[in-house]
Homo-oligomer: A and B are copies of this chain.
Amino acid sequence: MSLRIRDLSVHDVRFPTSDFGDGSDAMNPDPDYSAAFAILRCDDDLTGHGMTFTIGRGTEICVRAIEAYRPLVVGRDLDEIEADLGGFWRSLAGDSQLRWLGPEKGVVHLALAAVVNAVWDLLARRAGKPLWQYLSDMTPQEIVRCVDFRHMRDALTPEAALALLEKQADGRAARRAALERDGYPAYLTSAGWIGYDEDTIRARCRAAIAGGWNHFKVKVGADLEDDLRRCRIVREEIGPDRVLMLDANQVWDVDEAIDAMRELAAFDPLFIEEPTSPDDILGHARIASAVRPIGVATGEHCQNRVIFKQLLQAGAIDYLQIDGCRLGGVNEVIAVLLLAAHFGVPVCPHAGGVGLCEHVQHFSAFDFVCVSGSLDGRLIEFADHLHDHFVTPVRVEKGRYRMPTAPGFGTEMKAESLAQFAWPDGPVWRQRLSQGE
């Protein structure tokens, strides 16, 4: 059954998370987790859902950017898109007038992700499969054809990508069965936000341990003395054997990062995440060589495959943290998964916020089944915020994501949430804005 995309609607939805300090870190003291939410509608009421993840102000800019892609997507036929997924991606990412506003970064790239992911949601729903299975049922040739290799061929050619995928083809069925049985390992971020006081941190740690968690991330970078204090609390609570990770959210300069990590090394962290600017490939490489054996992780703010390519070429990262809404949608995520596998670096997706966990579980599952074939050193971030607003929220049990089974991407937000938290005219915001006056 061929279907044509008939309509695009966009919603600005914001959650007042800054009220509670949820998500607070050294760079972002008061995030209101938000989304510009794109819904594509086909002839027979099949819908596809995609989103940008934002933290409040400026979501309206993303709404406008998603609308700018309307003429490039409305009217297109799903069969034609499916027959040339790489060409479809290039036709959007390569629109020269919109590309000028990035290129391939910032608001236009965030909006591209929302539109591209909504199309993949349509395709997976139409096929009756959760996205990770839809991807995992593609042949190696089909997967390679999803990728725009422009500006990455010096690191990975289509031929090398194909060989890498073919090498993993035999074990697909067994790995898929293992995922369906055991789930995918996760780690928890919700314990160590900078805005939390000591009692909250201790209570969160104890609850997490009781819930079966073994990995804990602490936010650092606002003030070194306070970082040491909170790391000491978390290490006391989790004991010597559970895993501690640190996250500086980009606030340090290169030498500051190296100096701070000399002190924080006392708490035996697995990695330091975002030690400096996400644009600084050479800086990450210097930090990585200075802080070994502590690892370096980054990616939630890395704009595209070209930055990830270089981080890998330079040996600058030990953990690659893709984001489901910052790379230009599924096609570019596949490109980065292929690069990471080629360089032998584990992918540990960024998640949390709103909707990010729902996205990345598909990518990690696909990575395991088809690309890297491995779980070694791999974990998906988890934060227990705002899942109730989704029609098919993630299921996480005993520190593992349970594989999604509903057809599609699983990123459809409930209609009542879109309405309640609509900005600025939904009831939640109308009330708050009138109180502020």
Contact = CB atoms under 8 A, between A and B. Distances in A.
Interface of A: 27-32, 54-58, 60-62, 64-65, 68, 95-110, 149-154, 250, 253-256, 276-283, 286, 301, 303-304, 306-307, 309-310, 313-314
B151 A253 contact: yes
Given A106-B105, A151-B280, A57 B98 contact: yes
B100 A58 contact: yes
A98 B304 CA distance: 19
B277 A306 contact: yes
B106 A58 contact: no
A280 B57 CA distance: 30
A156 B395 CA distance: 48
Q: Is the interface of A mostly helix, strand, loop or mixed?
A: loop
A256 B99 CA distance: 21
A286 B109 CA distance: 27
Contact of A107 (B96, B107, B250): B107
Contacts of A281: 281-282, 310
A311 B56 CA distance: 33
Contact of A101 (B104, B110, B150, B152): B110
Given A61-B64, A106-B109, A281-B282, 8 more contacts: A32-B97, A57-B95, A101-B107, A102-B106, A103-B277, A152-B253, A279-B307, A283-B306
25 contacts: A27-B96, A27-B99, A28-B96, A28-B100, A30-B96, A54-B97, A58-B100, A58-B108, A61-B64, A61-B107, A62-B101, A102-B105, A102-B106, A103-B301, A106-B106, A106-B108, A149-B253, A151-B276, A153-B255, A154-B254, A279-B306, A279-B310, A280-B309, A281-B281, A282-B314
Nearest to A313: B282
Given A31-B96, A106-B109, A303-B105, A154 B58 contact: no
B105 A279 contact: yes
Contact of A106 (B54, B68, B101, B282): B101
* Residue with the highest number of chain B CB atoms closer than 10 Å, among A27, A65, A151: A151
A58 B97 contact: yes
A105 B326 CA distance: 13
A31 B68 CA distance: 16
Contacts of A101: 54, 58, 61-62, 106-107, 110
Contacts of A306: 277, 279-280, 283
B303 A282 contact: no
A197 to B, nearest CB: 21
Contacts of A56: 97
A154 B277 CA distance: 12
Contacts of A28: 96-97, 100
Nearest to A66: B61
A54 B100 contact: yes
B61 A61 contact: yes
